[in-house]
Amino acid sequence: MKKFSLIISLILLSLTSYSQGVTFITGGNLRTIFELAKAQNKAVFLEAYAPTCHVCAAFKPTFEKKEVGDYYNKTFISYQLDLTSPEAAAFLNKQKIWIPSTPTLLYFDKDVKLLHFAIMGENTNSSQVVIQAGQKAFDTKNRVIAYKASYLAGNRDPNFLYEFAFFSRILKDTTANIDAARAYAKATPTKNYSNNTNFLILQKVIIDDENPIAQYLFSHLAEFNGKYDKTLVKQTAENIIMYSLISPKGDKYSIKKINEVRANLTKLGVDKKSIDARVFRQEATAFFRENQPEKGIKVLEALIDKKTPKESYKFLSDFVTTRTKDKNALAKAALWGKLGK
């Protein structure tokens, strides 16, 4: 108990106070921040920032405002979380939180349970918005963690749907993201699929290549290229395809689906060699699963040349032995295993 009191005392001596604004603790670490929150029965506010982020720097005067400090200092234990630090990476990974941009404001209760988060930008840099973000953390009906319950209760308002899909992506809830984004697409007229709002949603929210808006993008590239930067259109489409391919569902793709992926990447101008390198895992897996082991082996053989290192041979051997019981394929795997030693 004495040791804990000493830690708290040391932390209290290590404060960054923005004049009369928000007091950020600079001593200790996240563990001691939450210990302090328990001791003072307060929630925790984390400003997730990057040292080189100019928007983050622009928020400093806002956090210095007296009205912001008055609310945050009585309500939260505040800490600035440097996203370039190992501490931040470990914490966010454990909490299953992805930070899409900075600054992001994160709110937790004293037991490290996420209450709310808010993505900030130049157009939200005001005392009122920052205070409202903190207040929303205690609004049990409208804070971010309440969105899933609202969705399950039948909320299908289009604005809510794309916000829920976006927040689900931030919380790494892929299933919720896909479901909500598809519901949003269903509620949106097809004629609006290529408008500015939906192109932004394609960039920031959709990670599912079977989403109707994504499908529309793949089949109407000329329309999108005529409205937006061609490089950004290509990047957006590629990202969606690859998100889906490397997700768990990608390992269940059929050969038909793999061919669709190949066709879409080809339309985007990706060369065959690059496509082969991107899809080989899922393609070979599909061939083995669909009882075409010789074609699966052929896909893998195409990756081998005179410069193939031992580690790659070992990888290929293990890859085959975990996906098929075909005798000829296993014989090839054994050969690769020897070359991998």
Q: Is the CB of residue 173 less than 8 Å from the CB of residue 180?
A: no
State the pLDDT confidence band at 20, using cuts at 50, 70 and 90.
Answer: confident
Q: Is the CB of residue 195 less than 8 Å from the CB of residue 217?
A: no
State the pLDDT confidence band at 13, using cuts at 50, 70 and 90.
Answer: very low
Edge-to-edge strand ranges of the sheet holding 104-108: 15-17, 23-25, 76-82, 43-49, 104-108, 114-119
Q: Mapping DSSP to helix (H, G, I), strand (E, B) and coil, where does residue 230 land?
A: helix
How far, in Å, CA of 130 to CA of 177, rounded? 26
Which CATH code fits 2-139? 3.40.30.10
Q: Give the mean pLDDT of the chain.
A: 94
Q: What is the average pLDDT across 253-268?
A: 97
Q: What angle do CA 14, 18, 20 make, to 5 degrees?
A: 110
pLDDT digits (tens, 9 = 90+) for 166-221: 999 999 999 999 999 999 999 999 999 999 999 999 999 999 999 999 999 999 99
Which positions ≥6 away from 340 have C-beta within 8 Å? Answer: 310, 311, 312, 313, 314, 315, 316, 317
Using the predicted structure, report yes or no on whether residue 6 has a pLDDT greater than 70: no
How far, in Å, CA of 318 to CA of 333, rounded? 7
Residue type, 128: Q
Domain ranges of the chain: 2-139
Task: Determine how many CB atoms are found less than 10 A away from the CB of residue 126.
Answer: 13
pTM: predicted TM-score of the whole model, two decimal places? 0.86
Q: What angle do CA 196, 202, 204 make, to 5 degrees?
A: 100
How far, in Å, CA of 148 to CA of 118, rounded? 16
Q: Which residues pair with 105 in a beta bridge?
A: 47, 118
Among all chains, which residue has been given the structure tokens 């079977």? 210
Angle between helices 272-289 and 293-301 (to 10 degrees): 150
Using the predicted structure, report yes or no on whether residue 14 has a pLDDT greater than 90: no
State the pLDDT confidence band at 28, using cuts at 50, 70 and 90.
Answer: confident
